């Protein structure tokens, strides 16, 4: 982040403007978005998804000792609908269902007695292997190349292009492989790139299993909710019904939660107006985007804004965002 921006955030915090803005916006809902805890260097690879413990703990300490009240998503819905009133309400959400978020991040939140909602995409719960595209991107971040060549099961493969093109081509080539064969193929790629095969099995790039998620369900602080089956939400009725239906059925059948699985996070935060009536018909109660900002009471419950908690964003920036100053600046910009 440019130094002048950091200095501006520090100034806004030290001047007391964030304190005043937060007071003026004290009934607006702040929703924070986390993904997974970094166990090695993942936060350097993808700071928008993996957060280091050193960056996470000061944020949680700030929430604990500030005026903000961390509440559940269910209570936040009631607040937005005017059934209850909270001052400085905050909801913590966690996307995807990464293994490290369940094994390491949730226990940290429990230490603070903070409720949270984890949105789980179920394809990689079914297939307990590393998430292929993310692992490949990680390896190519560590060892950039424009060509990958290897022989596997008597067949020669060559992939060329940018990192994204390489990932897409490899994914396409192994799509029909079973899980064991996919992992064997990726092991060959690890060797070609000089990467550690242990990355395939140390679970940093895995989703949690249903058994691990079932233990989360037993804790009343945490809720497991919808994130589609394959981390995509089509725009056609049949596709939406399929992605939500499979996701909901698998989570309900495997976890048997004592609550409804009827809150959704749009995959990658991407939504379209056409999604809204379809989700309403499916009984989805709330849906979170990655449109950043605060949520007014009476906000459309299927268009909720969230704020990314990123490893490369400072605590001062988060304080400014949560105070509502960024929202006011955006409104002023639109008027100019």
Residues 78-86, mean pLDDT to the nearest whole number:
97
pTM of the full predicted structure?
A: 0.96
Cα(256)–Cα(258) distance, integer angstroms = 7
**C-alpha gyration radius of the chain:** 21
Per-residue pLDDT of 206-265, as tens digits, reads: 999 999 999 999 999 999 999 999 999 999 999 999 999 999 999 999 999 999 999 999
- Report CA-CA distances (Å) from 119 to 7, 85, 100, 122, 192: 34, 25, 14, 10, 35
DSSP state at residue 209: P
pLDDT of residue 331: 80
- In the chain, what percentage of residues exceed pLDDT 70? 99
In three-state secondary structure terms, 329 is helix
Give the residue extent of every domain in the chain.
Answer: 3-126+206-335, 132-200
Query: Which residues share a beta bridge with 93?
Result: 33, 117
Cα(287)–Cα(305) distance, integer angstroms = 9
Residue 1 has pLDDT above 60, yes or no: no
Q: Which CATH number describes the domain made up of 3-126+206-335?
A: 3.20.20.370
Cα(333)–Cα(336) distance, integer angstroms = 5
């Amino acid at each position: 982040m440019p130094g002048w921006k950091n200095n501006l955030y520090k100034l806004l915090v030290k001047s007391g403007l964030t304190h005043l803005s937060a007071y003026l916006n004290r009934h607006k809902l702040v929703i924070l978005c986390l993904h997974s805890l970094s166990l090695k260097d993942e936060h350097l690879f993808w700071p928008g998804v993996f957060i280091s413990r050193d960056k996470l703990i000061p944020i949680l300490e700030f929430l604990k000792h500030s005026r903000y009240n961390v509440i559940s998503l269910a209570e936040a819905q009631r607040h937005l609908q005017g059934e209850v009133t909270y001052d400085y309400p905050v909801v913590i959400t966690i996307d995807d269902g990464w293994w490290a978020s369940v094994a390491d991040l949730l226990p940290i939140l429990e230490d603070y007695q903070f409720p949270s909602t984890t949105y789980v995409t179920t394809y990689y719960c079914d297939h307990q292997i590393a998430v292929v595209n993310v692992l490949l991107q990680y390896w190519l971040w560590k060892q950039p190349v424009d060509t990958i060549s290897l022989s596997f099961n008597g067949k020669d493969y060559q992939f060329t292009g940018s990192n994204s093109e390489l990932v897409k081509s490899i994914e396409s080539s192994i799509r029909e492989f079973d899980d064991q064969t996919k992992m064997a193929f990726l092991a060959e790629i690890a060797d070609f790139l000089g990467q550690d095969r242990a990355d395939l099995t140390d679970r940093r790039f895995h989703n949690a299993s249903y058994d691990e998620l079932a233990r989360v369900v037993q804790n009343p602080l945490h809720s497991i909710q919808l994130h589609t089956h394959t981390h995509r939400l089509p725009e056609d009725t049949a596709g939406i019904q399929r992605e939500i239906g499979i996701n909901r059925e698998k989570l309900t059948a495997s976890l048997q939660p004592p609550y409804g699985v009827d809150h959704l996070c749009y995959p990658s935060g991407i939504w379209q107006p056409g999604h809204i009536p379809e989700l309403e018909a499916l009984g989805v109660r709330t849906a979170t985007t990655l449109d950043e900002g605060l949520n007014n009471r009476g906000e459309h419950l299927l268009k909720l804004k969230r704020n990314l908690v990123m490893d490369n964003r400072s605590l001062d920036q988060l304080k400014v965002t949560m105070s509502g100053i960024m929202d006011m600046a955006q409104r002023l910009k639109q008027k100019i």
